[in-house]
């Protein structure tokens, strides 16, 4: 990100303000509040760069468009929770043991993804 443009600052701010992983559309919506001319292409291009720079990481949940979150949050191994009521995605600290026992012989595990679905605190009331 060579230049500090209004657009980039607004996009970075939108991601940092978010409480969890956010989608490009959501970033556009928030960033457009500060920079009227904000464009979806700019959001996508900026996100690609930030991923390449390691500032943010893509969060892929099964069957949904990509979301992004700060790399800082991703430095500690974690997984995600998706509220089936409000569609928000939350980070979950920690992991589980025993994943390797699921592997058939001859298979080697390099990484894994876990997604939990259900209702978050807000929606569970």
Partner DNA sequence: CTAGTTGCAAAGCATTTGCCTGTGG
Partner DNA sequence: CCACAGGCAAATGCTTTGCAACTAG
Work out whether 1 is an interface residue with DNA (CB under 7 A): yes
Work out whether 37 is an interface residue with DNA (CB under 7 A): yes
**Which string of x and - marks every residue 60-89 that binds DNA (by CB under 7 A)?**
-----xx-----------------------
- C-alpha distances in Å from residue 56, one per residue of 20, 25, 65, 71, 97: 12, 16, 16, 4, 27
Which among DNA, a second copy, none contacts residue 86 (Cβ within 5 to 8 A by kind)? Answer: none
Pick the piece of the chain touching DNA (CB under 7 A) from 43-51, 69-77, 90-98, 100-108: 43-51
- Whether 44 and 68 have beta carbons less than 8 Å apart is answered as no
Q: Identify which of 9, 110, 64 has the alpha carbon closest to the alpha carbon of residue 21.
A: 64
**How distant is the alpha carbon of residue 8 from its chain centre?**
18
Q: Identify which of 57, 7, 56, 1 has the alpha carbon closest to the alpha carbon of residue 31.
A: 7
Toward DNA, which CB reaches closer, 5 or 119? 5
**Which string of x and - marks every residue 6-25 that binds DNA (by CB under 7 A)?**
xxx--------------xxx
């Amino acid at each position: 990100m060579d230049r500090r443009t209004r657009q980039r600052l607004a996009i970075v701010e939108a991601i940092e303000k978010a409480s969890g992983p956010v989608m490009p559309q959501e970033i556009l919506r928030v960033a457009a509040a500060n920079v009227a001319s904000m464009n979806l292409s700019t959001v996508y291009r900026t996100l690609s760069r930030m991923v390449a720079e390691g500032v943010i990481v893509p969060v892929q949940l099964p069957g949904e468009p990509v979301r992004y979150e700060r790399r800082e949050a991703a430095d500690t191994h974690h997984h995600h929770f998706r509220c089936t009521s409000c569609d928000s995605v939350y980070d979950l600290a920690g992991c589980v043991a025993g994943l390797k026992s699921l592997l058939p012989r001859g298979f080697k595990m390099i990484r894994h993804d876990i997604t939990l679905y259900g209702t978050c605190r807000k929606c569970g009331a």
